[in-house]
């Protein structure tokens, strides 16, 4: 019997994502000026107010207020009527030095012996159902909001009433052998400027989403996925009605509250640790990227059609407690999932230092991760400029989303005889 599966996404203007982006902007600046920095930075945003808190061990000094304001400005909160404005919001910093007790478990005389920054388990997932090896419902949900954001920033003459806050949700019907059959439901809620009449407003927003945004998203997908967009989709567009009050004024935002949006939309599993605001010594972040790297390369190599990878650590210990693999019965080799896990553990060194080196994680590459998912994104090299509090500017050429590279697929093929 067929079944339905749903994933959601939120825009860069969602209050939790505003918090994530501020935290990761701080991480990038710390990495730019001192790549050895150890940082755990949390952000809270609410009406007219930003609170920064966390622990840092670094050789540099940052103007955290300026960084936060510039991030908010880039997102689009630049009007006083939003009740959260980059130029006028209050910013309180309660960032202090990292605990020496934690630091002694991470830093070692031999860098290769670097211990995990915390205990816990991290998961990576990949599936063949999309070109970027991501779950389909989440991929479409992200693309809807990315298109809305593009229109808001670059084509306001097309849809002129959009404000930064938005959410989307996509429900897909699958056959009992896990093949997508059709899109059942699409939900979009977008913050908007005030309209004269509520019914006229709702009608226009619904028409714009269905006739402008969705066709643009559909056109970017491969033909077999385009066919899932039938005339029988149920649309819920701004189902609560007016959505003028939004962003941090409408709902308090906190770092790390959108971990399922950040990963796989509910597919696979999640260990519970958030990513944004953490330097790569925190395995919540680095090992989640590393397990995605394993799963994606394994699926791309043809080892399985779908794969979940789990790794776990003890705080201060370099060697993982264990590596687990689930192929959901889609494995293409005559091996148990346990045997597959053992061999993958021989290919990918999962000690924290080696993850950092393999994925080039001690670079300012994190701001781009903080909206529209940390996984399934485009691997590319970009130049970024950072300005210190003394006005000193440095330019860095960095590689984004290194964990999305298929640079180990041939190694997986060779190891498994594929």
- Residue 282 annotated as part of some ligand binding site: yes
Residue 373 CB contacts under 8 Å (≥ 6 apart), including other chains: 9, 134, 138, 142, 261, 262, 263
Q: Tell me whether residue 14 is annotated as binding.
A: yes
146 assigned ligand-binding residue: no
**Distance between CA atoms of 188 and 147, rounded to whole angstroms?**
12
The verdict on whether residue 57 carries a ligand-binding annotation is no
Q: How many CA atoms lie within 13 A of 205 on its CB side?
A: 30
Rounded to whole angstroms, the Cα distance separating 364 from 375 reads 17
Please tell me what DSSP assigns to residue 316.
Answer: T
Q: Is 293 annotated as a binding residue?
A: no
What are the structure tokens assigned to 84, written together?
């959260």
Is residue 274 marked as binding?
Answer: yes
Q: Is 74 annotated as a binding residue?
A: no
DSSP state letters, 168-231 = EEEEEEE-TTS-EEEEEEEEEEEEE---S-HHHHHHHHHHHIIIIIHHHHHHTS-HHHHTT--T
42 is in an annotated binding site: yes
Report residue 154: phi and psi, to 5°.
-115, -20
Q: N- to C-terminal Cα distance for the chain? A: 33
The verdict on whether residue 167 carries a ligand-binding annotation is yes
- Nearest CA among 263, 415, 280 for reference residue 354: 280
Q: What are phi and psi of 298, to 5 degrees?
A: -70, -45
Tell me which residue of 373, 414, 360 sits closest to 143, measured CA to CA.
373
Residues forming a β-bridge with 56: 39, 97
Dihedral sign (CA 67, 68, 73, 78): negative
Per DSSP, the three-state class of 346 is: helix
Tell me if 405 is assigned to a ligand binding site: no
CA dihedral 261, 264, 265, 267 (to 10 degrees): -160
Partners of 230 in the beta sheet? Answer: none
Distance CA 172, CA 185 (A): 7
278 assigned to a ligand binding site: yes
Is 360 assigned to a binding site? no
Contacts of 327 (CB under 8 A, 6+ apart): 303, 304, 306, 307, 337, 340
16 marked among binding-site residues: yes
Q: Is 128 annotated as a binding residue?
A: no
Q: Which residues are annotated as a binding site for L-methionine?
A: 55, 98, 251, 282
Q: Which residues are annotated as a binding site for K(+)?
A: 42
Q: Which residues are annotated as a binding site for Mg(2+)?
A: 16
Q: Which residues are annotated as a binding site for ATP?
A: 14, 165-167, 251, 257-258, 274, 278
Q: Which residues are annotated as a binding site?
A: 14, 16, 42, 55, 98, 165-167, 251, 257-258, 274, 278, 282
């Amino acid at each position: 019997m067929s079944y339905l599966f749903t994933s959601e996404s939120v825009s860069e203007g969602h209050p939790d994502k505003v918090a994530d982006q501020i935290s990761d902007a701080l991480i990038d600046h710390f990495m730019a000026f001192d790549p050895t920095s150890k940082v755990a930075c949390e952000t809270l945003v609410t009406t007219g107010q930003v609170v920064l808190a966390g622990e840092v061990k670094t050789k540099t000094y940052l103007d955290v207020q300026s960084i936060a304001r510039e991030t908010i400005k880039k997102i689009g909160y630049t009007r006083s009527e939003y009740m959260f404005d980059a130029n006028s919001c209050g910013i309180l910093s309660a960032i202090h030095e990292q605990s020496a007790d934690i630091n002694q478990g991470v830093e070692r005389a031999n860098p290769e012996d670097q211990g995990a920054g915390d205990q816990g388990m991290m998961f990576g997932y990949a599936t063949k159902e999309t070109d970027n090896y991501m779950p389909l419902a989440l991929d479409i949900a992200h693309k809807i909001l990315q298109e809305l954001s593009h229109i808001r920033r670059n084509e306001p003459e097309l849809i002129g009433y959009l404000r930064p806050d938005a959410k989307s949700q996509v429900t897909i019907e699958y056959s009992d052998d896990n093949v997508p059959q059709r899109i059942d439901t699409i939900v979009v809620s977008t913050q908007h400027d005030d309209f004269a009449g509520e019914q006229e407003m709702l009608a226009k927003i619904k028409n714009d989403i269905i006739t402008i945004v969705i066709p643009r998203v559909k056109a970017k997908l491969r033909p077999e996925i385009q066919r899932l967009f039938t005339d029988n989709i149920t649309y819920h567009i701004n189902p609560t009605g007016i959505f003028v009050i939004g962003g941090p004024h409408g709902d308090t935002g906190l770092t790390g509250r959108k971990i399922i949006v950040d990963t796989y939309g509910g597919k696979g599993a999640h260990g519970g640790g958030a990513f944004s605001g953490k330097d790569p010594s925190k395995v919540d972040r680095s090992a989640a990227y590393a397990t995605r790297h394993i799963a994606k390369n394994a699926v791309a190599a043809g080892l399985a059609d779908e794969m979940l990878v789990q790794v776990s650590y003890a705080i201060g210990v370099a060697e993982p407690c264990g590596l687990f693999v689930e192929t959901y019965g889609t494995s293409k080799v005559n091996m148990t999932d346990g045997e597959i896990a053992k061999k993958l553990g021989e290919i990918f060194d999962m000690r924290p230092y080696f993850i950092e080196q393999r994925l080039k994680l001690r670079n300012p590459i994190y701001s781009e991760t903080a909206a529209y998912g940390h996984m399934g994104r485009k691997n590319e090299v970009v130049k970024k400029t950072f300005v210190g509090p003394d006005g000193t500017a440095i330019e860095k050429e960095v590689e984004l989303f290194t964990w999305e590279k298929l640079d180990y697929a041939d190694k997986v093929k060779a190891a498994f005889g594929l």
